[in-house]
Structure 1
Amino acid sequence: HNDKVSCVAVSRSGRYVASGQITHMGFQADICVFEFDTRKLVHRMILHKVKVQSLAFSADEQFLASVGGQDDNTLVVWDLESGRPLCGGPASNELSLCIAFFNNSSDKLITGGHGVLRVWDVDFENRKINPTDVNVGQTRREFRNIVVEAHDRYAYVGTTSGDVVCIQLQGPKNLKMSGPQKKYNGGILCSTLNEDGDVLVGTGGGEVVLLSKIDLHVIKSVAVQGAVTSISALGEHYFVGTGKSNVYYLNAHTFKEELRQTCHYDGINDVVFPAGYSEVFATCSANDIRVWNANTSAELLRIQVGTLEANCIQFTKDGKAILSGWSDGKVRAFGPQSGKLIYVIHDAHKLGGMKRVSGSHTGVTALCVDNANQRIVTGGADGEVRVWRVSAFAQKMEAAMKEHKATINAVAILSDDSEVISASDDGSCILWDLQRFVRRSIMYSQTYFKAASYFVDESQLLTTGSDKKITYWDAIDGNPIRELEGSKIGEISSVDIASDGETFVTGGGDKLVKLWNYDEGSVMAVGVGHSSNITKVKVSPDGRRIVSVGDEGAIMLWSLDQQ
């Protein structure tokens, strides 16, 4: 796909996976059908305009049905063998949101949307589809998801009002009943049937509810974190996915939930390893900081601070604290195992920026720690670089260095703690003397500087920015040494040099992780996987893996063992 994926469907045997996308006004939206075992694209189907709203496979896996979005609103039935459309037509006068095939006949399906439910008979010989409107009486609902029971007698339809409507499919197409009496907040977002035919639904308020097939009363319910966006029933247990990027395992008998998989549900701003230790790493995002096991990808610790956004994080060199810069202008230090707050530096930076780039962060935007664990250097949206002398008992500002005219995006410190570099959106990088707190040298370029990193022997610097270039600088006099074209299509937002100095890694707006040879300036490997801008890349201290994080909330680990 070349844009956001709007819907996904899996065939009954698991052989096929179909996905639809959103595209720009006036363009056609693709449907991609993949063979799951081989992970290969089988068909690319192009007919709908702007958006594919919903997809469904027939039970015998011969056909795929698709419904277009608001600008299209057509129903199309596709032949899966040839990938060609068999028949189609307008879905309804109102917007259609969901679709489902009957279980025992591939020529019948049902669609639902804004106030309308329709049962369709597909005439394959004449290549026509004939609708029958379901009589729902005075009931006015927006229908979001449909599940058909095993014998095709009834369909259970989830609504945005927070209840489930049962429809009779044999004989006259009428509303049979609705329930439960107490409607759920956030509506019914997903539904499926268990082995007994009872209806399992997920709500926008974060509840998984089992409803009786007889009268739709509540049998069991359990609360999870985040709106329930998907449910899959598998024999004696269920898997539940939520809008907060959590996957739960749910026992069918006890209805006890168990968190199996989790990740950030918003863009990730930073990733960092502890000094000299590659087994764990930390990431930060809107609302939280998380510490991960690098080998198992398991979450070890989660630190949440209200509705604030963590812009940057750093481990102290002794590993006894996680330092973090936040959107409210404060620096917070936490215990790396307990997650408890150790201290807060209030008003470390002003909230407002001087000259802010659209979408850039507020408050504390960059952070680094000296090697003696005595001082912190911070950069902010106010364009200031500040030096703090810290302990668990007192945090005192030593200096505020004011020269940048825009947000500071990165700070890095020399190993002898005598100098720090700051990279800013104002098109300058400044080397600061940490004894006298004055400028040593300054580097200008026609770019928003996004990242800066010292080479291993600290004789050179690497910078990246919005001009898509990677620049080598002399760390003594601040003159450029050479320039590489880092990307053709997007800014480079992050750079990190491996501990042996032979390679470095970059990531940015082109969504590619690139491994470079430092001396030759050539690309050694390219990692494709992110679906949005890469915000940070880091090489582990042992040089065996790269971790990259992005705006879509993904954390990706890349092995460097087989280069």
Structure 2
Amino acid sequence: METELELSAVIGFKGTVADGLILHPNNEHLLFPLGTTIVVRHIIERTQQFLRGHDNNISVITVSDSGKYIASGQQTHMGFQADVIIWDFDTMSILHRLKLLHKVLIQSLTFSFNEMYLASVGGQDDANLVIWDIESGNAVCGNPTGTNAVNRICFYNNSDDRLISIHDYQVLIWSADYSNKKISNDLVNLGQVKRKFTCVVIDHSDSFAYMGTKTGDIVEISLDKAMYKRIGPVKRLFSLGINCITQVPNGDILVGAGDGTIAKIDHSNMRVKSEAEVLGAVTSFSLTADGTHCFVGTDKATIYWSDTDTIEPELRNTCHYAQINDLAFPYGFSKVFATCSINDIRVWNSKTRQELLRIEVPGLECHSIDFLKNGKSIISGWNDGKIRAFLPQSGKLLYVINDAHNHGVTVVAGTNDCSRIVSGGEQGEVRVWSIGSQTQVMEASLKEHRARVSDIKINANDDQAVSSSHDGSCIVWDLENFTRIICLFESTMFKQVVYHPDESQLLTAGSDRKITYWDCYDGQAIRMLDGSDSGEINAIDITKEGEHCVSGGEDKLVKIWNYDEGICYNQGTGHSGTITRVKISPDQSFIVSVGSEGAIFIWETPKEVAEAKADSEMPEAPEDGEAA
């Protein structure tokens, strides 16, 4: 039985969950979903806590008015039940797990103002509205929502038996009769207005509701009369639709649009009072208790802090918004690490999780990075076929190797003496470059792979390198004579390869879901482990002592294996996307994993793994005079 790895920190904010960024009513914590995990971050102290109970990606999250309860819902596979979890914020524990009444997806959740009830609605494959009693965790009443799928539901601000649901082209007002366990609805008369409604906010007196649309305007309805009142803003549509909407204490409306616009609308005349631009489609607003400021979240993994009067956003948090392709530590230094993705390389403080440096090359994708052992440069391979080297503190471009590989550089690795770079390309070639003060010269071009080179590792003496390829071959190269020493073949796409610390064996991982041990002397496979039950293995790393290795891949699990026993004793759950790379820190105290969702997970290394010694089980040497 695997022991769950302890998650110590997360760097990331996906930003794709509608209204998923929430400022807790205590004004001290930010909450947001990241894959299967809810991250609770203290704003000032930057400490993190994690709520982990879902077994699939979280689709919706909400917090009750006092902050006592958190509710979250998930998506799951077709035909399976989708759970809703009510959490107790004070104890950070599960209060109720609500199941069996929704399938595939939880679309929206809302708490009643007095925190007695929670309403949930499923996606288009479910189409059921259910109201739950929070104290008991039992369903009180429910009703099908019809063939027109619900996009959002919202309880009234002063009534626990009335709520609104918005759909494509229609709006329903629901009335609950808790004594008779029934719920009914009335259709709002929208006249000639036809819109796909995306978000809703009800004014403080429960007189009106304001709904954002995919068209990019706001529709106001009278809740008392259940009919259309007006549409706005005047002579303005927000491009790519309105994704989120909220109301500040004076009645003005804040909207966030798909084109990155945040705007304040005067509620009296429906005119735009102020607006600003942010990076990415706006998906969340969360007001402070006094309504003077708010946090803004976007789908480009950015969080902004904004004054609700001037609407001037200030960037507070950012991460990669696309797949992270590689990560690297400086030699023997665990306090920082670097990651690369589309457009940029980022250097992070591993303790504070703050971004220290961003190196941007717009319009390009960085496939691979490595720190030279002397710490004087970061080398990187890009999809335009160039190798670029940057200064690790300033991010200044040091040199460029043009036309290093046709169709893109897929992997780079620096030798231990910092005199050469070994690189691989999309077409299977491995090249060795001499690093000079002014020019970088190609020493050799080794072409025996027939497909993308996925990884390169160099041995301690700099006289050999091993490269792995998607064509199912791993080749050990002589870096002095530029000849092939050994070639390993398997029916797989090799994703990564590592040397055992004593360099007697190689460890590979690939699309066959196997972790394979190879003998470096004759190239024979020694052992194969079933590394995953459900997907390719993309990443593998090994401890300095060689007693344990860690893997990750399409099953979204970080696994720690005992090297000699071939048994997985620890695994970490949290990623919402495929794990692309995993590294053990140089001091062995933590493990970093990155994935296709753009998130960085930092796991605490189990004590028995961090302290394992290769010679711990060797017999002690006999005393002088004793028989051996």
In structure 1, distance between residues paired with 2:499 and 2:607: 26
Matched, 1:205 2:250: no
Contact 1:137-1:175 within 8 A present in 2 as well: no
Q: Tell me whether 514-523 or 48-57 shows the greater mean CA deviation.
A: 514-523
In structure 1, distance between residues paired with 2:527 and 2:76: 39
Q: Tell me whether 298-307 or 39-48 shows the greater mean CA deviation.
A: 39-48
State, as a whole percentage, how many aligned pairs show the same letter. 50
Shift of the alpha carbon at 1:471?
2.6
Matched, 1:23 2:76: yes
Shift of the alpha carbon at 1:92?
4.5
In structure 2, distance between residues paired with 1:59 and 1:345: 62
Shift of the alpha carbon at 1:254?
4.7
2:424 to 379, 382, 386: 379
In structure 2, distance between residues paired with 1:103 and 1:535: 45
Match of 2:559 in 1: 514
TM-score with structure 1 setting the length: 0.92
Question: Judging changes above 3 Å, is the alpha-carbon distance between structure 1 residues 392 and 170 closer, same or farther for their aligned structure 2 residues?
Answer: farther
Matched, 1:261 2:314: no
Match of 1:250 in 2: 306
Shift of the alpha carbon at 1:76?
2.6
In structure 1, distance between residues paired with 2:385 and 2:117: 56
In structure 1, distance between residues paired with 2:437 and 2:197: 56
Contact 1:418-1:433 within 8 A present in 2 as well: yes
Match of 1:391 in 2: 436
Match of 2:394 in 1: 338
Match of 1:445 in 2: 490
Shift of the alpha carbon at 1:233?
0.2
Shift of the alpha carbon at 1:231?
0.7
Contact 2:173-2:226 within 8 A present in 1 as well: no
Paired residue type of 1:317: K
Shift of the alpha carbon at 1:425?
2.0
Paired residue type of 1:264: H
Matched, 1:306 2:362: yes
Alignment of 1:314-463 (within 5 A): 314-351=370-407, 363-391=408-436, 393-463=438-508
Alignment of 1:2-17 (within 5 A): 2-17=55-70
Question: Judging changes above 3 Å, is the alpha-carbon distance between structure 1 residues 402 and 213 closer, same or farther for their aligned structure 2 residues?
Answer: same
Alignment of 1:461-540 (within 5 A): 461-540=506-585
Paired residue type of 2:82: A
Match of 2:41 in 1: none
In structure 1, distance between residues paired with 2:375 and 2:159: 62
Question: Judging changes above 3 Å, is the alpha-carbon distance between structure 1 residues 519 and 91 closer, same or farther for their aligned structure 2 residues?
Answer: closer
Question: Judging changes above 3 Å, is the alpha-carbon distance between structure 1 residues 456 and 397 closer, same or farther for their aligned structure 2 residues?
Answer: same
Question: Judging changes above 3 Å, is the alpha-carbon distance between structure 1 residues 482 and 48 closer, same or farther for their aligned structure 2 residues?
Answer: closer
Question: Judging changes above 3 Å, is the alpha-carbon distance between structure 1 residues 546 and 3 closer, same or farther for their aligned structure 2 residues?
Answer: closer
Q: Aligned with 1:47: secondary structure?
A: coil
Paired residue type of 1:134: V
Contact 2:541-2:582 within 8 A present in 1 as well: yes
Alignment of 1:210-249 (within 5 A): 210-234=264-288, 235=290, 236-249=292-305
Question: Judging changes above 3 Å, is the alpha-carbon distance between structure 1 residues 72 and 517 closer, same or farther for their aligned structure 2 residues?
Answer: closer
Paired residue type of 1:299: E
In structure 2, distance between residues paired with 1:16 and 1:386: 57
Match of 1:149 in 2: 203
Match of 2:239 in 1: 185
Match of 1:88 in 2: 142
In structure 2, distance between residues paired with 1:180 and 1:202: 17
Q: Aligned with 2:551: secondary structure?
A: strand
Residue ranges of structure 1 left out of the alignment (5+ in a row): 352-362
Contact 1:250-1:256 within 8 A present in 2 as well: yes
Shift of the alpha carbon at 1:109?
0.8
Paired residue type of 2:438: F
Shift of the alpha carbon at 1:297?
0.4
Question: Judging changes above 3 Å, is the alpha-carbon distance between structure 1 residues 533 and 128 closer, same or farther for their aligned structure 2 residues?
Answer: same
Match of 1:35 in 2: 88
Q: Aligned with 2:588: secondary structure?
A: coil
2:163 to 99, 109, 132: 109
Deviations 1:242-265 (A, max 9, x none): 111111122345543322222111
Q: Aligned with 2:287: secondary structure?
A: strand
Deviations 1:366-398 (A, max 9, x none): 221112322211112211111122335323322
Deviations 1:185-224 (A, max 9, x none): 1211111222323222211111222222222322332222
Shift of the alpha carbon at 1:403?
1.4
Matched, 1:48 2:105: no
Higher RCO by CA contacts (8 Å cutoff, separation 6 or greater): 2
Matched, 1:167 2:212: no
Q: Aligned with 2:227: secondary structure?
A: coil
Q: Aligned with 1:29: secondary structure?
A: coil
Shift of the alpha carbon at 1:413?
0.7
Paired residue type of 2:316: R
Question: Judging changes above 3 Å, is the alpha-carbon distance between structure 1 residues 171 and 557 closer, same or farther for their aligned structure 2 residues?
Answer: same
Paired residue type of 1:323: I
Q: Tell me whether 61-70 or 107-116 shows the greater mean CA deviation.
A: 61-70
Match of 2:27 in 1: none
Question: Judging changes above 3 Å, is the alpha-carbon distance between structure 1 residues 453 and 172 closer, same or farther for their aligned structure 2 residues?
Answer: closer
In structure 1, distance between residues paired with 2:164 and 2:219: 14
Contact 2:264-2:273 within 8 A present in 1 as well: yes
Deviations 1:267-287 (A, max 9, x none): 211110111221111001122
Contact 1:499-1:542 within 8 A present in 2 as well: no
Paired residue type of 2:538: S
Question: Judging changes above 3 Å, is the alpha-carbon distance between structure 1 residues 408 and 27 closer, same or farther for their aligned structure 2 residues?
Answer: same
Shift of the alpha carbon at 1:528?
2.5
Q: Aligned with 2:99: secondary structure?
A: strand
TM-score with structure 2 setting the length: 0.83
Q: Aligned with 1:191: secondary structure?
A: strand
Match of 1:282 in 2: 338
1:128 to 147, 172, 182: 182
Contact 1:342-1:392 within 8 A present in 2 as well: no
Shift of the alpha carbon at 1:338?
2.5
Question: Judging changes above 3 Å, is the alpha-carbon distance between structure 1 residues 127 and 561 closer, same or farther for their aligned structure 2 residues?
Answer: closer
Shift of the alpha carbon at 1:167?
1.6
Q: Aligned with 2:341: secondary structure?
A: strand
Match of 1:66 in 2: 120
Shift of the alpha carbon at 1:327?
2.4
Q: Tell me whether 52-61 or 335-344 shows the greater mean CA deviation.
A: 335-344
1:542 to 568, 581, 587: 587
Q: Aligned with 1:436: secondary structure?
A: coil
Q: Tell me whether 432-441 or 207-216 shows the greater mean CA deviation.
A: 207-216
Question: Judging changes above 3 Å, is the alpha-carbon distance between structure 1 residues 233 and 424 closer, same or farther for their aligned structure 2 residues?
Answer: same
In structure 2, distance between residues paired with 1:519 and 1:172: 70
Contact 2:81-2:99 within 8 A present in 1 as well: no
Deviations 1:85-124 (A, max 9, x none): 3333332453321111101111111111211122121222
Q: Once superposed, what is the RMSD of the aligned Cα atoms?
A: 2.2
Residue ranges of structure 2 left out of the alignment (5+ in a row): 1-53, 609-628
